[in-house]
Structure 1
Amino acid sequence: MPDPTLDIASLGGHTMGTQWSARLVLPRHRDLHPLHAGIQAQLDGVVAQMSTWEPGSDISRFNRAAAGSWHVLPEGFFQVLETAVDVARRSDGAFDPSIGPLVALWGFGAHARQPRLPSPEALAAVAARCGWQRLQLRAESRQALQPGGLELDLSAIAKGFGVDQASRWLRAAGITAALVEVGGELHGYGSKPDGQPWRVLVEPGPDEDALDAPPRVLALDGLAVATSGDRWHHHDIDGQRYSHTLDPRSARPVPHATAAVTVIAPTAMEADAWATVLTVMGAAEGLAFATTHDLAARFVSRSAEGIVETLSPAFVRHLDASA
């Protein structure tokens, strides 16, 4: 039976160049202003630590630091960086938090130049400054080494961390059920007043043709979902599309990027990072990797016949559970 003492409230705001929203289950007439302020404060904290768009952020100061210097990082920043390095290692370099200079060279990110094809010499010089293996961490003291010229870019994982931070804060504030979203990445926990879990529709893909794909509805209770792909950011140079997703292994934009990759994971930070990894790998390599590593992933790809959808076994299990 629905609980008549509870209601669903909706909040929203702006962060990280996009919008955030939250749906909360709480007693009727509860003051929403402290909850809105608390969520915004959590997201603002992520920006202050990890935004390369903010010259005074912790990540910007690290990127400018002298070679050979060690830096104590805020807890959230260090946690994200540890996870990013772990994903880089497990994906054999398909994810790399040190590709800031490459992002800018190809015309994306906070320090982007005018989009144009970089020369082979410029590409080689910038690629030499990158490499997650150059990053050394001291977990016991939350320190990171700036080896010299290393520029971190956590845009493929920090937004998901922001979602998780907001969810954790809401739990601590006594909110027993919530669905939090930042720029299309979501985390849900608890049940709605009618006892049902939060259900979300997976984005169909970038093209109208993708609407012909079967609708995919997921139940999120202690789960997160993130989608990556070339729908949202790309450049057209000399009539060719260049994805904003870079392959760190080649130092180039992903060729023929998968239109959309959706990943389900326990945290939005993990879903965010692995969606990027699988976008870099592409549908064939990515599906094999997701199957081997039991990642719940959905690939929407373009082909001569139209939109093609492929699902990993773990993703299919989530669909069965959501039915």
Structure 2
Amino acid sequence: MHRIGHRAFAMGLAWGAFAASASEVRRFGGETMGTTWSANVVLPKGANGDVIQQGIQAELDTVVAQMSTYDDASDLSRFNRAPPGTWHTLPPEFFAVLRHALALARDTGGAYDPTIGPLVNLWGFGPGERRRETPCAAALAAARARVGWQRIRLDEATQSAFQPGGVYVDLSSVAKGFGVDQVAAFLDRAGASAYLVEVGGELRAHGRKTDGSPWRVGVERPGAAAGAVQRQDELERVVVLDEKTIATSGDYRHFFEDGGRFFSHHIDPRTGTPVAHRVASVSIVADDGLHADPLGTAMTVLGPEQGLAYAKRHGIAVLFILHGDDGRLEERMSPAFAALAKP
């Protein structure tokens, strides 16, 4: 099983407790990107469940084949190994995701950066060996020299990307969200009237359950038991997903400790080091996974003050859960998220 990258986790959003019963919808599931996927789907009468299962898996397999840093044969891995000064025609899905990632990097002043791969790998959160100590200054400087979204050029006419040399793109922060979108598009083509699709904690909803009610999902409280959360007391918030996608990322399942300090897998591309502020998790609600997924990473790097300011300027629905000074968790949310959340 190929993993997309450093954000593979079974966490974030519990939905099973709120989904329609098995007799009302068809349930599908499998593995992808080092995690699991699932889908509750209201299908037209006579739909072939095997075709749906295989079709969903095929969509996700395509994302892996194009964008996995764990698969040496992927289109992304080939681009990362390419000689300096070369142009490479990319599959349309890969090109669209990279184009969006670079636009977000520009808009966030580099707080989000898809060329962060060398730093991800150096800190032990990529496809290589996990590390348990901080890298030396020389190694950090060498990795930082390879990072910079401005180094990649795109040619819209030929759907090509320029490899200047040494650039290592990591799309882990967007691939799962994009995968959710691809599955949703497949289900739309298959005639599904409603669905709730989940890939590693990223969820997208369409239509209504058969009782007419909207899909509702729970945002997991940081520190809750790993896996699908079924108990109400392990949920931080309940959100209504009405033709929306929600993505959650956190620091509490993927980190290492060295010298009494905890180092999160969320790395600030501008400094080359894991974020040092008190963000425990970030949840984003957006129209699709392509936007929701990477925005979670951007908000985590920006932190609650800069992140909320950015969210308010752009109308982004974001929930920050923070480690408080007294050890308790604190919430901060944008007005757009508050409008979606149930108390």
Normalised by the length of structure 2, the TM-score is 0.88
User: Which residue in the other structure is 1:55 paired with?
Assistant: 72
Q: Are residue 96 (structure 1) and residue 113 (structure 2) matched?
A: yes
User: Which residue in the other structure is 1:228 paired with?
Assistant: 249
**Residue 157 of structure 1 aligns to a residue in which SS?**
helix
Aligned residues: 314
User: Which residue in the other structure is 1:318 paired with?
Assistant: 340
User: Which residue in the other structure is 1:217 paired with?
Assistant: 238
Q: Are residue 299 (structure 1) and residue 320 (structure 2) matched?
A: yes
Normalised by the length of structure 1, the TM-score is 0.93
Runs of 4+ deviating beyond 6 Å:
211-214
Given that residues 206 and 260 in structure 1 are in contact (C-alpha distance below 8 angstroms), is that contact kept between their aligned partners in structure 2? no
User: Which residue in the other structure is 2:269 paired with?
Assistant: 248
| 1:171-320 aligned within 5 A | 171-206=188-223, 215-305=236-326, 306-319=328-341
TM-superposed CA distance for 1:7, in Å, is 2.8
Q: Give structure 1 stretches of 5+ with no counterpart.
A: 1-5
Q: Cα RMSD between the aligned structures? A: 1.8
User: Which residue in the other structure is 1:3 paired with?
Assistant: none
Give 1:197's aligned amino acid.
P
Instruction: Note the alpha carbon deviations across 1:68-100, whole angstroms, 9 max, x for none.
Output: 110000011001001100110111100000011
Given that residues 264 and 297 in structure 1 are in contact (C-alpha distance below 8 angstroms), is that contact kept between their aligned partners in structure 2? yes
- Choose from 42, 67, 74 the match for 1:25: 42
Bigger relative CO (Cα 8 Å, ≥ 6 apart): 2
Given that residues 213 and 307 in structure 1 are in contact (C-alpha distance below 8 angstroms), is that contact kept between their aligned partners in structure 2? no
| TM-aligned CA distance change 1:308 to 1:136, over 3 Å | same
Q: Give structure 2 stretches of 5+ with no counterpart.
A: 1-22, 226-231
User: Which residue in the other structure is 1:121 paired with?
Assistant: 138
**Residue 228 of structure 1 aligns to a residue in which SS?**
strand
- Identical amino acids, percent of aligned pairs: 48
| TM-aligned CA distance change 1:314 to 1:83, over 3 Å | same
CA–CA distance in structure 2, aligned partners of residues 215 and 114 of structure 1: 31
| 1:130-169 aligned within 5 A | 130-169=147-186
CA–CA distance in structure 2, aligned partners of residues 26 and 137 of structure 1: 39
CA–CA distance in structure 2, aligned partners of residues 111 and 142 of structure 1: 30
Give 2:324's aligned amino acid.
S
**Residue 259 of structure 1 aligns to a residue in which SS?**
strand
Give 2:309's aligned amino acid.
A
CA–CA distance in structure 1, aligned partners of residues 96 and 55 of structure 2: 21
CA–CA distance in structure 2, aligned partners of residues 288 and 183 of structure 1: 28
Q: Which moved more, 1:253-262 or 1:135-144?
A: 253-262
**Residue 56 of structure 2 aligns to a residue in which SS?**
helix
Instruction: Note the alpha carbon deviations across 1:249-299, whole angstroms, 9 max, x for none.
Output: 101111134101000000112110001001111122212221222110001
**Residue 285 of structure 1 aligns to a residue in which SS?**
helix
